[in-house]
Structure 1
Amino acid sequence: MAEIRIRNNDERIRGEEQVRAFLDKQEVLYEHWNPDKLPQELKEKFVLSDEEKNEILHTFDEEIRDLAQRRGYRTWDVVALSDATPNLDEILKKFEQVHTHTEDEVRAITAGKGIFIIKGTDDVGYFDVELEAGDVISVPEEKPHFFTLMDNRQIVAVRLFIETEGWIAHPFADPSFQK
């Protein structure tokens, strides 16, 4: 279950309803899908064949199509990252810079853990959303944020896009941000 850490005061927000209520105030969509639907052999697998990625998409097809219909997403895929991913550190450097997009950034975590760092309202500042299997988040277009892995450095996520070109980041310079 997702957990939030507000960076300027180290406050923690736990529990699905509390997390959802906080993120709703920050205009960030949060949902939870049932991670137990995933076949056991894929729950802790972080190097995936195309066939296994398609199996994940098939397993969550109803949830994906429902979210896509409600929010206008037109394409989706699966991304898997772990220490076995070639050039993982260079890939993470690209993600680990505050940026924006011209569309929502959506991730449905199916295995592992990840973290979004998001710029909230002026009274909140930056906050971390720690995600695990079953957590679904949509960071709105033009909202400064970035994504990275947690200490286990393993994640599998379904990504949904409006633009068929996929993930395009626009750097966001913010002197107030501190890693």
Structure 2
Amino acid sequence: MAQIRIRNTNERIEGEEQVKAFLEQQGVLYEHWDMSKYPAALDEKFVLNDEEKAHILSTFDAEIRDLAARRGYEIWDVISLSDATPNIEELLTKFEQVHTHTEDEIRAIVAGKGIFIIKSEELGYFDVELVPGDVISVPENTNHFFTLMDNRQIVAIRLFIEKDGWIAYNVNDPDFVKA
């Protein structure tokens, strides 16, 4: 299950109900998918070909279509990142820039770990540490970014409203301090 760390106080929030309640107060969607159906052949595999990505999408087709129907998503894909990803350091530098979008940014983590760093007007920045099964959607126009955790491996399903995907608008936020 996801865990939250509020950066200003170092307070941690754990447990599905507590995490969900906290994120709901911040306007952030959180749900958890059943990962027991994740293809065993893909366990611990973080370099995926197109066929494997399609297999992941078909495995979670019902969950994706349910989410798309509720929230207006039009397209989806799978992203996989690890130290084996070409230009991983360049990508992480780009990812680790505070930005906003004109649509929400959603991830369904299916393998590995990732982290959203999100700004709350009341609390400042907080980290949402995500594990397989966690689904999170950061609201539009909210300062945030997504990156890898210490294990530097992730497979996630991304959903988009706009057919060309969302565009990141970088924000120079003096309140943000790297942890």
TM-score bucket (shorter structure): over 0.9
SS at match of 1:41: helix
Distance 1:120 1:104 in 2: 15
Query: Taking structure 1 as the reference length, what is the TM-score of the superposition?
Result: 0.98
Following TM superposition, where does structure 1 have runs of at least 4 consecutive aligned residues deviating by more than 4 angstroms?
Answer: none
- For the 8 Å contact 2:103–2:166, the answer to whether it is kept is no
Q: Is the 1:43–1:110 Cα contact (8 Å) retained in structure 2? A: no
Q: How do 1:146-165 residues align onto structure 2 when only pairs under 5 Å count?
A: 146-165=145-164
Give me the CA root mean square deviation: 0.7
**Partner deviation per Cα, 1:87-112 (whole Å, 9 max, x = no partner):** 00101111101000010100000000
* Mapping for residues 8-157 of structure 1, pairs under 5 Å: 8-122=8-122, 124-157=123-156
How many Å separate the matches in 1 of 2:97 and 2:39? Answer: 34
Q: Does 1:4 align with 2:4?
A: yes
AA of the residue aligned to 2:47: V
Q: Distance in 2 between matches of 1:66 and 1:22?
A: 23
Aligned residues: 178
Deviation at 1:172, TM superposition (A): 1.2
Show structure 2 runs of 5+ residues with no match. none
Secondary structure of the residue that 2:113 maps to in structure 1? strand
SS at 2:159's partner residue?
Answer: strand
- Cα deviation for residue 166 of structure 1 reads 1.3
Query: How far 1:39 sits from its partner (Å)?
Result: 1.2
Q: TM-score, normalised by structure 2?
A: 0.98
Q: What letter corresponds to residue 160 of structure 1 in structure 2?
A: L
> How many angstroms does 1:121 deviate by?
2.7
Segments of 5+ residues of structure 1 without an aligned counterpart are none
